[in-house]
Structures are given as structure tokens and as C-alpha cells.
Amino acid sequence: MSKRLHYSIRMRAAMSGVHISGAEGIYEKNDIIKMVNEFTGRALSHGKGRADEIRLTVEELKTSPVRIPSFPLRTLNTRNPEAAKKASLKILSSVGIKERAIEEVFESLNSGIAMRGAMLMDIEGVRLEPDLLRGVRVIRMGITKKAAAELSRKLGRLGLNNNTVKEALILASKVHRHRMVLGELCISDDPNYTTGYIATRTHGYIRLPRIKKRGVAYGGRAFFIAGGEVKELIKYLQRTPVLINSIKSCTGIVTLREIFESKSRR
Ligand code: PML
């Protein structure tokens, strides 16, 4: 195992007290200055406006990152929010999450209440995160340079080589490494970004275009969880450093049928 030191670099930017942009990764020492520059640049030129407050954290990691592969990525051709919800219900309920829990998450994410972190929803539909307003932020995750180049190449072929997709895929891959997480639903809070995703260990990362109407400035993330200590899960999500070091398949548009047929062949 590598003895090289790793650093978690995290950026959060706000404009007039409202969160507009965030980014993070795990890097070696030589890359710190470059990444601080890059993240600062991102905060100052975000589509939602120019940040007037940028918080940067550079932290030496005390433990070596756990190295894991990314989830495979696919896209369903969902034509509107109703179709995206229907597909989410089918896929998430197939791994044991109750429909009422999925409905509850859609309702909360569409309610307009902005949360910084993710909801933790048990599979029966009961919220379990200690702070219902803030949710749980997932931090200390990244991707190796080699895997990042491979991911850019694979996403590039699909016209998806951008930070939004890459960061969401890294996050979902880290989160589902924990056995308590059965599934995830995410809707972007960017009013111009209408693609969301669901993820499960069985099906991987499934993008859902048009999950919301353009112009809607809210969204969020929920993890469906079962069987264990919430405290222990939160500790993993926030403290365990995870690095993606290999990339599974990145495929274009597939049908729901193909998703169910291929799950055992991934
Ligand atoms: C976000 O805004 O960070 C969430 C993005 C979710 C969808 C990413 C994708 O297109 O795969």
C-alpha cells in the first residue's frame, strides 16, 4: 500500500449567505496549489453567480484512503418527471425499499426546502438523520489521476465529461460501499440541470433525464438505509477517506428492461 500522504481539499462557496457551489477531492501534496486555484476559480465563475464567500479546507489525511471501483453508469431515456419517478419506484423498490419511503423522498425533495446534506430515510419511510434541516454531508472522497483520465475518456464518448456527473458518480460509489445503504435518489438543485439519478449496488448509477422541470431551484439527495447504527454510517460517510481507482462501464441510453436483465451480468 502507498505510504504517500494524501490531502482532502474541500471548497464551499456562497453568495449573500446562500450556498452556490461546492467541490472536493483527495490529492497528493504536489497537487494542492493547483487544486486550490482550480476550486477558487470554480467558485468565482459559477453559473449561479459570483461567490462572495469561499471556504477552503486543506487537510492531511491520517489514514490511507480506501480504494474502490466506481459504479457502472447508464442513462434511462425518461421523458418527464412522472416517467423518472415511475422508473425510480420500480428500480428502488426492487431492492427492498418500500414505495412509501420513495414517495416520501420525492415529496420532500420537491417541497422546496433546501438541505445542505442528504436525508437518511429508512426503507419504511422514517427519517433518521440527527439534523433534519441540514442532513448529512458526504466528504473525504476523490479519484486517482489514472482513474480520472479513464472516467473522462468514457464519459467523453457519451458527451458527459463534466464535473457534475463525475462528482455525483464518485459520491454514489463511496456511499454505496457501506452495507447499510440500499439506494439513493438525487435531484440537482441547479435550476438549469434537470437530470437526476438513482443508485443501488445491484443496478449501479442510473441517470434520469428530465426528473424535474427547468427553472426549479431546489432538489437534494436521500440515502435509503437499513440494518445498523446510523452513527456508524455517518462516521463512514464523513470520516473514511475513499478514492476511486478503477472505472466500471459507462453506457449511453438503456431501457428499463435492459437494466433489469443485465443486473446480474455487470
Ligand atoms: C448535483 O447537482 O450535484 C447533482 C447532479 C446529479 C446528476 C448528475 C448526472 O447528470 O449524472
φ and ψ of 237, to 5 deg: -60, -35
What is the model's pLDDT at position 126? 95
Pocket test for ligand 1, best of 12, 20, 76, 197 (most atoms within 8 A of CB): 197
Taking CA atoms, 243 is separated from 6, 12, 42, 50, 240, in Å, by 10, 20, 22, 30, 10
Protein residue with its CA nearest to atom 8 in ligand 1: 165
**Alpha carbons 207 and 199: distance in angstroms, whole number:** 9
What is the model's pLDDT at position 263? 62
| Distance between Cα 193 and ligand 1 center (Å) | 8
Pocket test for ligand 1, best of 73, 76, 141, 193 (most atoms within 8 A of CB): 193
| Distance between Cα 2 and ligand 1 center (Å) | 31
**Alpha carbons 56 and 66: distance in angstroms, whole number:** 23
What is the model's pLDDT at position 265? 46
- Helices 99-109 and 81-93 meet at what angle, rounded to 10? 140
What residues does ligand 1 touch, defined as CB less than 6 Å away?
164-165, 168, 186, 188, 190, 193, 195-197, 207
Protein residue with its CA nearest to atom 10 in ligand 1: 165
Please spell the DSSP secondary structure of 102-153, one letter per residue. HHHHHHHHTTT---SSBEEEETTS-B--S-TTT-B---SEEE-HHHHHHHHH
Identify whether the C-beta of residue 114 lies closer than 8 Å to the C-beta of residue 20.
no
What is the model's pLDDT at position 4? 86
Protein residue with its CA nearest to atom 6 in ligand 1: 196
| Distance between Cα 117 and ligand 1 center (Å) | 14
What is the model's pLDDT at position 50? 82
Binned average pLDDT, 10 residues per bin, the chain of 266 residues: 84 90 95 96 83 95 97 98 98 98 95 88 94 94 98 98 97 98 96 96 98 93 96 98 98 96 63
| Atom of ligand 1 lying closest to residue 207 CA | 11
Put the strands of the sheet holding 119-122 in their side by side order: 119-122, 220-225, 181-187, 196-200, 204-208, 73-76, 250-254
**Alpha carbons 196 and 215: distance in angstroms, whole number:** 14
